[in-house]
Amino acid sequence: MTTLEGFLIALAKTVVIFLGVVNVAALMTLAERKFSAWMQYRIGPNRVGPYGLLQPLADGVKFIFKEELTPAGANRFMFRAAPILAALPSMMTIAVIPFAPDIVIGGKNFGALTIADLDIGILYILALGGLAIYGVILGGWASNSKYSLLGSLRASAQMISYELTLILTILSVVVMSGSLNLREIVEAQSDITRWNAWNVHAMPQFVAFVLFVVATFAETNRHPFDFSECEPELVGGFHTEYSAMKWAMFYIGEYSAMTVMAALTVVLFLGGWSVPFWPDAPWYVGLAAMLAKTGCFLFLFLWVRWTLPRFRFDQLMRLGWKVFLPLALLNLVVTGAVVSLR
């Protein structure tokens, strides 16, 4: 394989995955409105395109043409930087998520469907995930609004406390698979006959799985942990003062973070692209399996949002520090003990 060929393959993968995630994020806004409508005896958007499928496009056009307001006394530079900082990290994390095994077309192997097959993929995700908080903090602080400030304070406290649980649960999985590379983690799970196959399916990491899923809700600021927005008290939370495309950037960030987190859950706990009882499934079946599993978790995000009431801030913190963190630690210790004793 020549250098040019390798470059072109990498470029193609980047374009496919990046456009894929942006489109999924856009479609998620539609899905959110459609699913919530169905749960609430409503119809949902159905004017633009068949079944309202072009609604995200119409929304995008609307956002672009809306007037951008900057509140008096706002820190203009930070105010503009915050939406970008909020949207970028989640889009960047998608780079290491493997979506399909080695793509083989016409006997030629193009490698796994992932932008970067990093050996420290997990670290990369955690590092960038930690950066996402800056958009929220700065957005709330730069708005010069009390509601925004309170919202961003809450969000930052929450995201930081749940990141710990998130990291510890991921560590348990890393201990099980013995690798920080996401592709290798998937491959370690793919053999259904082995004891750690499908970290959840075979149950050894069930606790970690539950903790991880709950922590992803907190990490992505989704209901029932959406304190940063919390519209009854804080009007719109950190993005109260945002309008037009800047506001939309926060949402793109939120939805792509959801997509990444859903994909990560599948990769870490549900065997990524592996199909049960079909170990040598072709790559396109694997890709479909991966997308289907991710879709289930994306639906979970919506389902929970439109069903449950919201936690109170201190209850969430108590849950995070007093329940989830000890549980995650215990789980890590037990996992480590079991793995080393085997």
Partner 1 sequence: MSTVQRTGVDDETRTKRTFEYAPGVVDRDDPLHGELLELNMGPQHPATHGVLRIQVLLDGENMVKVEPDVGYLHRGKEKTCESLGWRKFFVHTDRLDYLQPLMNNCAYALALEQLGGIQVPERGQTIRVLLMELSRIMAHLIYLGTTSIDLGAVTMFFFTFSEREKIYALLDAYTGHRMNNTYIRIGGVYADVEEHAEREIRAWLAQFPRKIDEFETMLTGNRIWYDRNRNVGILTPQMCKDWSLTGPNLRASGVEWDLRKQQPYSGYEHYEFEVPVGTIGDCYDRYAVRIEEMRQSVRLAEQALDRLARTRGAEFLADDRRYVLPPKSTVHTSMEELIHQFKIVTDMSLPKGEAYHAVEASKGELGFFVASDGTSHPLRCHIRAPGLMNVQAIPVLAEGRLFSDMVSIIGSLDFVMGEVDR
Nearest to 53 by CA among 87, 29, 37: 29
Of 211-240, which residues contact partner 1 (CB under 8 A)?
223-224, 226, 230-233, 235
- Binding to partner 1 by residue 43, rule CB under 8 A? no
- Binding to partner 1 by residue 73, rule CB under 8 A? yes
Looking at beta carbons only, is 129 or 237 nearer to partner 1? 237
Query: Which of residues 146, 203, 279, 326 is near partner 1 by CB under 8 A?
Result: 146
Q: How far is the CB of 145 from partner 1 (least distance, A)?
A: 9
Which span (1-9, 36-44, 110-118, 195-203) binds partner 1, by CB under 8 A?
A: 36-44
Which span (32-40, 51-59, 209-217, 328-336) binds partner 1, by CB under 8 A?
A: 32-40
- Binding to partner 1 by residue 243, rule CB under 8 A? no
Looking at beta carbons only, is 148 or 294 nearer to partner 1? 148
- Concatenating the DSSP letter of every residue in 97-108 gives ---SS--EETTE
- Binding to partner 1 by residue 149, rule CB under 8 A? yes
From first CA to last CA, the distance across the chain in angstroms is 41
Looking at beta carbons only, is 213 or 230 nearer to partner 1? 230
- Binding to partner 1 by residue 150, rule CB under 8 A? yes
Unique residue bearing structure tokens 């520090």? 321
- Binding to partner 1 by residue 41, rule CB under 8 A? yes
Cβ–Cβ under 8 Å, residues 172 and 205: yes
Q: DSSP class of residue 110?
A: -
Burial class from Cβ neighbours inside 10 Å (0-12, 13-18, 19+) for residue 130 reads middle
Looking at beta carbons only, is 41 or 277 nearer to partner 1? 41
Which span (138-146, 168-176, 262-270, 331-339) binds partner 1, by CB under 8 A?
A: 138-146
What's the one-letter identity of residue 180? L
Q: Which two tokens stand for residue 261?
A: 């987190």
- Binding to partner 1 by residue 127, rule CB under 8 A? no
Q: How far is the CB of 161 from partner 1 (least distance, A)?
A: 15
- Binding to partner 1 by residue 322, rule CB under 8 A? no
Looking at beta carbons only, is 144 or 243 nearer to partner 1? 144
In Å, what is the CA distance from 338 to each residue of 86, 233, 325, 333, 334? 39, 46, 20, 9, 6
Query: Which of residues 72, 106, 280, 340 is near partner 1 by CB under 8 A?
Result: 72
Residue 249 to residue 247: CA distance in whole angstroms? 5
Q: How many residues does the chain have?
A: 342
Cβ–Cβ under 8 Å, residues 82 and 139: yes
Query: Which of residues 63, 147, 250, 255 is near partner 1 by CB under 8 A?
Result: 147
- Number of residues located near partner 1, criterion CB under 8 A: 32
Looking at beta carbons only, is 81 or 235 nearer to partner 1? 235
Query: Which of residues 15, 16, 42, 322 is near partner 1 by CB under 8 A?
Result: 42
Q: Within its chain, how far is the Cα of 126 from the centroid?
A: 11
Cβ–Cβ under 8 Å, residues 265 and 216: yes
Residues in contact with partner 1, shown as a per-residue x/- string from 298 to 317 under the rule CB under 8 A: --------xxxxxxxxxx--
Per the rule left: phi > 0, alpha: psi between -120 and 50, beta: everything else, 237 is left
Residue 67 to residue 327: CA distance in whole angstroms? 48
- Binding to partner 1 by residue 76, rule CB under 8 A? no
Give just the sign of the alpha carbon dihedral 232, 238, 243, 246: negative
| Number of C-beta neighbours around residue 61 at 10 A | 11
Q: Contact positions toward partner 1, by CB under 8 A?
A: 36, 39-42, 72-73, 141, 144, 146-147, 149-150, 154, 223-224, 226, 230-233, 235, 306-315
